[in-house]
Structure 1
Amino acid sequence: MRYIDLHCDSLLKIFNKSEQENLFENNNLSVDFKSLQQGEALAQFFAIFMPDEETLTELKLEEINDDLYIDRAVNILEQEVTQHNQIVALAKNYQDIIVNQQQGKISALLTIEDGRSVAGNLDKLKRYYKKGIRLITLTWNYENCFGYPNSTNPAQMARGLKDFGIEAVQYMNQLGMLIDVSHLSDGGFYDVAQYSSKPFIASHSNARSLANHPRNLTDQMIIKIAEKGGVIGLNFAPYFLNKDSTNSKSSIERMIAHLNYLKNIGGENVLALGTDFDGIHGNLEIASSKQMPLLFKALARSGWNIDLIEKFAFKNSMRVIKEVLS
């Protein structure tokens, strides 16, 4: 079963790469090219996560200018793909993915998680687009030029996009860049729904009714994404799957529960995959790209037919890619 994963943080883990730290075969990562090949991936979205001070300290990274950091991360992926171009190739649009598939190659797409480096400048968006960035997760856990993050504070959660955020959403539509509302405040979410003329996505979020985390989506949000023609990427993180936030197990059973819920609320065309691999922790029943067939087999055993599994695995995401990434 081919699949598209809309979000992983693997690039961050090899930012200070040595000879042992690579993307071809890396036992320290959930996502590497060999595992993607074993799991029969069609495409993997690689996030350039913008680290905060805590992350810099945790990963022993030196503080670096945001744009230099982005340039270096892009170069790392480009170098890795060049070294292993027999199995993987960069992609910037729908046609690239089709061509790569015909050549037996996995497609690698670049994203930015946290648009803080845009810094209120539309020219930055154009620059990133020219560098191959095809998706931006508008916020992470902090306020930035686009708007405000998800929060347990109701007043913060209600805040919408800033004026620049509205302008940027419309410009991203023009450029052909995916808008990702994972991490965004509820108010910002509804502003994106109002001002985006193209489908938008939640690349790695689940159902808030099943796991009451502010990063997850309410029923009305699920419906709104579906109405706009977007998709929701199933997140494998335990705290986005389980009702009990202290439960550290990420189980296939809970994944299927969220998928069935999303399907029942938003319809089968809203389903997608966004593992958040290499950005999550816990007891993961699926801990690597090579294990992805376990989920598809479990879905089949639970009664899903092949057409529905294919929609979830790659067809819905391909539809959005075709419409947005011009």
Structure 2
Amino acid sequence: MIKAVYVLLLVGGLLANGFVFGEGVGKGVMKIHNKAITIDTHCDTPMALLDEEFDIGTRNSAPKSRVDFPRMQEGGLDAIFFAAFTGQKERTPENTENAYRLAHQMIDETYKVCNENNKMAEVATKSEDVIRLEKKGKRAIYIGMENGFPIGTDINRVQEFYDRGVRYITLCHSSNNDICDSSTDKKGPEHNGLSDFGKEVVPKMNELGMLIDVSHISDKSFFDVIELSKTPVFASHSSIRSIAHHNRNFTDDMLKALAKNGGVIQICLLDDYIKDPDTTTVYFQKQKELRLKYNKFETMTEAQKKELRAEWRDLSLKYPQKLPTVADCVDHIDYVKNLVGIDYVGIGSDFDGGGGLDGVADVSEFPNITDEMLKRGYSEEEIDKVWGGNFLRVFKAVEAFSQK
């Protein structure tokens, strides 16, 4: 439900801005930050691209979007993955086709805005593209697909989306699909991990050189992928369950298995994945009441959606949310570093899908994470690994396997 609500609010521009913008960092921090190849592996900005009033080539402000090309440049962000997100619905042929068309529409819009702003950004498809485009002063826009729902049970669609430039697929979202079980499906497991079809999808992605994204999938699905995949896998936007006890986050055993696989976890900046929510606040209780009231988002009428937007806006204005801090986020990076090593952690914001911190409200404020790492004694080499080096290692390994 989190993403469904944020879609309405972010695209509609109605969510009150509860983020506290940082006061900037020093030149020394920016020098180190700008030297690194910086990559954010997950944002949901393609949903905002469907709003004709949104111009990604100009500087916007929250809540309309957390991402645009000028703010990427301000924040020294070299590359980002635009995720074509489709919410999971009942797996009927009609719903699958609607998701399939919507995914293609968001991919089309990504190419369109990059072509319209070709002096600032370009669609990237290879790991080396970020280096090439950074030298030209351009932002590299990679494409991912969040939720394998548009694939249905047609293995040929994996190739089709790869040919369109999609370089990772998040195997499922908040509910089970035809590929695997989700970590958050209220009905519980359906396939006991990967489905038989999912066991076809993973090798196909290996063959193509497509990254396998294990965010959102159940623990059993994760271990099935680890056992089956011939390449390192990654979590595009997940955090640490020992710190924030959400089923979406990774256990210590999952982190150890991911490291043994050679993969990487990209820490997600969404509040409940960074810090356990304070369930005693009025905001939390009122938010819970709204979710119960509007618990059938997929079948809501436009009038009901409009009512939800208004009520959520009023709630955010009346009871401003206290967000986790940059320090809270870096605690997750510390945890991975201390448990399995610095080589297995990165950053995937989930901006425009609910992500954001007190101090990192949008992509322009990413240097505040570098600042916090420096304060904790991280070396430049370690910072380089977190911001892009670790992910690029995985990306290159996936590409290399497909070229054998």
Shared topology, TM-score over 0.5?
yes
Which of 180, 184, 187 in structure 1 is aligned with 2:220?
Answer: 187
> Do 1:134 and 1:325's aligned partners in 2 also have CA atoms closer than 8 Å?
no
Deviations 1:34-65 (A, max 9, x none): 11111111210000010357xxxxxxxxx982
User: Whole-Å Cα distance in 1 between the matches of residues 161 and 368 of structure 2?
Assistant: 36
> Do 2:326 and 2:357's aligned partners in 1 also have CA atoms closer than 8 Å?
no
Change (3 A) 1:157 1:296: farther
**1:96 Cα deviation after fit:** 2.0
Q: In the alignment, which residue of structure 2 is the partner of 1:222?
A: 255
SS of match in other structure, 1:156:
coil
2:359 is the counterpart of 1:310: no
Q: In the alignment, which residue of structure 1 is the partner of 2:69?
A: 33
**1:153 Cα deviation after fit:** 6.6
User: Whole-Å Cα distance in 2 between the matches of residues 162 and 248 of structure 1?
Assistant: 40
Aligned CA RMSD, in angstroms, stands at: 2.1
Q: In the alignment, which residue of structure 2 is the partner of 1:42?
A: 78
Structure 1 runs not aligned, ≥5 long: 54-62
Deviations 1:252-284 (A, max 9, x none): 111111111011112111011101111116763
> Do 1:180 and 1:201's aligned partners in 2 also have CA atoms closer than 8 Å?
yes
Which of 96, 102, 105 in structure 2 is aligned with 1:72?
Answer: 105
> Do 1:248 and 1:282's aligned partners in 2 also have CA atoms closer than 8 Å?
no
Between Structure 1 and Structure 2, whose CA radius of gyration is higher? 2
Q: In the alignment, which residue of structure 1 is the partner of 2:358?
A: 284
Matches within 5 A, 1:159-308: 159-244=192-277, 246=279, 248-280=322-354, 284-308=358-382
Change (3 A) 1:83 1:299: same
Q: In the alignment, which residue of structure 2 is the partner of 1:4?
A: 39
Which of 151, 174, 178 in structure 1 is aligned with 2:184?
Answer: 151
> Do 2:176 and 2:190's aligned partners in 1 also have CA atoms closer than 8 Å?
no
Same amino acid, percent of matched pairs: 31
User: Whole-Å Cα distance in 2 between the matches of residues 284 and 183 of structure 1?
Assistant: 24
> Do 1:147 and 1:188's aligned partners in 2 also have CA atoms closer than 8 Å?
yes
User: Whole-Å Cα distance in 1 between the matches of residues 119 and 149 of structure 2?
Assistant: 35
**1:124 Cα deviation after fit:** 0.4
Q: In the alignment, which residue of structure 1 is the partner of 2:312?
A: none
TM-score (norm 2): 0.74
User: Whole-Å Cα distance in 2 between the matches of residues 156 and 124 of structure 1?
Assistant: 25
**1:199 Cα deviation after fit:** 0.5
Structure 2 runs not aligned, ≥5 long: 1-32, 90-95, 280-320
Q: In the alignment, which residue of structure 2 is the partner of 1:98?
A: 131
Runs of 4+ in structure 1 off by over 6 angstroms are none
Amino acid at match of 1:315: G
User: Whole-Å Cα distance in 1 between the matches of residues 338 and 187 of structure 2?
Assistant: 27
User: Whole-Å Cα distance in 1 between the matches of residues 396 and 325 of structure 2?
Assistant: 32
Change (3 A) 1:112 1:282: closer
Change (3 A) 1:248 1:167: farther
> Do 1:180 and 1:202's aligned partners in 2 also have CA atoms closer than 8 Å?
yes
Change (3 A) 1:39 1:242: same
Q: In the alignment, which residue of structure 1 is the partner of 2:25?
A: none
Change (3 A) 1:206 1:283: closer
> Do 1:238 and 1:248's aligned partners in 2 also have CA atoms closer than 8 Å?
no
**1:250 Cα deviation after fit:** 2.2
**1:227 Cα deviation after fit:** 1.0
User: Whole-Å Cα distance in 1 between the matches of residues 247 and 278 of structure 2?
Assistant: 12
Q: In the alignment, which residue of structure 1 is the partner of 2:92?
A: none
SS of match in other structure, 2:217:
coil
Change (3 A) 1:282 1:41: closer
Amino acid at match of 1:292: F
Q: In the alignment, which residue of structure 1 is the partner of 2:393?
A: 319
> Do 2:88 and 2:175's aligned partners in 1 also have CA atoms closer than 8 Å?
no
